Amino acid sequence: MRKLLFLSILVWLAGCTREASQFDGRQAFQYLEQQCQMGPRNPGSVGHSAAKDYFVSFFTPLADTNFCQEFDQFIAYDSVTFQMSNIIAGFAMEKGNPLLLGAHWDTRPWADHDPDPAKRNQPITGANDGASGCAVLMHLAEYLSQNPPDRAVYIVLFDGEDYGTTENFRSYCLGSAYFAQNLPIEKPVAAIILDMIGDADLKIPVERNSYRSNPGLIKQIWDIARKRGYKQFVHQLDGEIYDDHLMLIEYAKIPAIDIIDFEYPNRFSNYWHTTKDTPDKCSPKSLQVVGQVIIDYLYTSAETN
């Protein structure tokens, strides 16, 4: 009888643990859709202003602190200056060992890879390239608010990531570059960037710069995905991607990784930087997979970075 009771308690505890670590991809997908309903969110647009207010209103009641790092950015090739904002939400800041979770919240001002030449000057909706990473971080913020982590966690939404030209990589990642050169928070010991993780055909290989920067964190994240049975995380070293994590590595010496599926939707077709980057190309399941892996890392990882 005692043995049966003990086994029942173990099963109940296991069930509670699983329930406590669930990430709701459907909820995150609603946040993705809400961002897209504002339209394109490139700097200087109506959608950009609306999205900033939306994020600040969302994070303020959840986080221990929420503020914007404002900066003026001159765009030489357009001869225009935009006010840009990195949106920062901090959780359990007194616990130290800070981890940064980041994504970019702006969208591409031109659909320069659209198959229709007539659409290449139109701004994109950015469901995957913009909204997906933010959507996961928004739902993670809700979880962090209800389940304080054992370390400080900063959620940072970077502005101006996609306001760049292919002729000059340095014209991208404007918000993360400013952040890394003007750290407004205690220097994080590690960073995880989420970008283009909503693709319905999700496959996330290991980005090469990330592996160079923080191989230990890469191993932990991909091992968590393997134990979960998430085949979306591919145990394969892929190419180099110029993204927000490089700004953190280069300017602030933060060991950072990029969780990204750059082939959107796959190697045979492309929605990236096109007018086809819309919510119907994304999936709640993909958001759930990535969000669950991050929760598992935050709350079950035995090691810190």
84-98 per-position pLDDT tens digit: 999 999 999 999 999
Return the percent helix, strand and coil in the chain, to nearest 5.
Answer: 45, 20, 35
Other residues' Cβ atoms within 10 Å of the Cβ of residue 251: 16
pTM for this predicted structure: 0.92
pLDDT at position 4 over 50: no
**Contact status, residue 52 vs residue 118, Cβ threshold 8 Å:** no
Percent of residues, the chain, with pLDDT higher than 90: 87
What is d(CA 66, CA 245) in angstroms, rounded to the nearest whole number? 21
Q: What is the pLDDT of residue 301?
A: 62
Percent of residues, the chain, with pLDDT higher than 70: 91
Ranges assigned E (strand) in the chain? 65-75, 80-91, 99-104, 153-158, 190-195, 204-206, 233-237, 256-260, 265-266, 269-270
In sequence order, the β-bridge partners of residue 165 are 168
What is d(CA 123, CA 112) in angstroms, rounded to the nearest whole number? 9
Structure-token pair, residue 65: 């602190």
In sequence order, the β-bridge partners of residue 70 are 85
Mean pLDDT for 173-179 is: 98
- pLDDT band at 168; cut points 50, 70, 90: confident
